[in-house]
């Protein structure tokens, strides 16, 4: 079904492309928001990726690879977005559209805060590695293909990124020196 839609979109059928975009939109938006840490920038990146996809569809060699190709376009779009973002860099809190209200919450508020800090400290490419592999559940060879880096490089960078997050969490968890009483004004 998807392959047929891709073929039609490649031939200029915009309705077919709209169906494909609708099916992919949540995944693209969630990925971009996780990596860019800013819903507005994420929206810009996703829209940019969809424009690039529509423009470039006639050039797609293998319609079966549409999802992987779209992931790659999105990655390029949010790297471009991150580049623009640097001009007015602000650390914007990510605002989830609909926070999961599960009874089976596995992470405490403290864990989430620490993860937030550790994740935000990473460069966008490292965040992309983690999101593509651990959130989208893409196998590492596909993550490497999306990022345009060799598999070995993807492995080592993912390892370093996770290590960096763990180290950050460990540091955050370390007890700080007591502040002598009476020092605060």
Partner 1 sequence: MTQLDGFDRTLIDWLDEQAGHGMPGYLDEALARTIRTRQRPWWSSPERWLPMQSTLRFAPAPRIAWLLVALALTIALVSAALAVGSRRQPAPPFGLARNGPIAYTNGGDIVRFDPATGETTALVSGVEQDVAPYYSPDGQRFVFLRHAAGGGDVAATADADGRDIRILTAPLEDQRWWDWSRDGTRLAIISTVDGLHAITVANVDGSGSRALPLQMDADFVSWLGDSDRLLFRGRPLAGGTSGLFTVRADGTDLVPVSPDMGDDLGDYQAPAVAPDGQRVAFSAFDQAKWKSPTVGSPAGDWSGNLLQVHVLDLIKGTESVIPTAADPTSPELPVDQWSPRFSPDGTMLAFQVDRSDGTYQIAVAPSDGSAPPRPLGPSARNTAGEDASYEFSPDGTKVNARYPLEGVIWALPVDGSAGSKLPWDPSDLPTTQRLAP
What part of residues 151-170 is at the interface with partner 1 (CB under 8 A)?
A: 153, 156-157, 160, 162, 165-166, 169
Nearer to partner 1, 2 or 80 (CB): 80
51 binds partner 1 (CB under 8 A): yes
149 binds partner 1 (CB under 8 A): yes
68 binds partner 1 (CB under 8 A): no
3 binds partner 1 (CB under 8 A): no
Distance CA 147, CA 159 (A): 15
Say how many residues make up the chain: 185
Q: Exposed, middle or buried by CB within 10 Å (0-12, 13-18, 19+), for 34?
A: buried
Sign of torsion over alpha carbons 177, 180, 181, 182: negative
Residue from 100, 177, 179, 185 in contact with partner 1 (CB under 8 A): 100
Residue from 17, 36, 74, 168 in contact with partner 1 (CB under 8 A): 17
Nearer to partner 1, 59 or 176 (CB): 59
Nearer to partner 1, 24 or 182 (CB): 24
Distance CA 143, CA 180 (A): 49
Distance CA 23, CA 184 (A): 55
* Number of other residues whose CB lies within 10 A of the CB of residue 150: 12
Nearer to partner 1, 102 or 177 (CB): 102
């Amino acid at each position: 079904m998807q392959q047929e839609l891709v073929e039609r979109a490649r031939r200029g059928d915009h309705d077919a492309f709209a169906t494909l975009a609708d099916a992919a939109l949540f995944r693209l938006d969630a990925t971009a928001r996780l990596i860019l840490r800013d819903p507005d920038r994420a929206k810009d990146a996703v829209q940019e990726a969809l424009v690039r996809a529509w423009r470039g569809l006639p050039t797609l060699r293998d319609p079966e690879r549409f999802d992987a190709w779209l992931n790659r376009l999105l990655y390029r779009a949010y790297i471009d977005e991150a580049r623009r973002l640097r001009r007015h860099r602000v650390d914007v809190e990510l605002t989830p559209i609909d926070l999961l209200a599960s009874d089976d919450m596995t992470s405490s508020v403290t864990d989430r805060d620490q993860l937030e800090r550790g994740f935000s400290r990473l460069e966008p490419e490292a965040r992309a590695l983690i999101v593509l592999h651990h959130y989208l559940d893409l196998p590492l060879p596909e993550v490497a293909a999306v990022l345009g880096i060799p598999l070995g490089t993807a492995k080592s960078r993912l390892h370093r990124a996770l290590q960096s997050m763990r180290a950050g969490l460990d540091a955050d968890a370390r007890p700080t020196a007591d502040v002598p009483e009476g020092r605060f004004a």
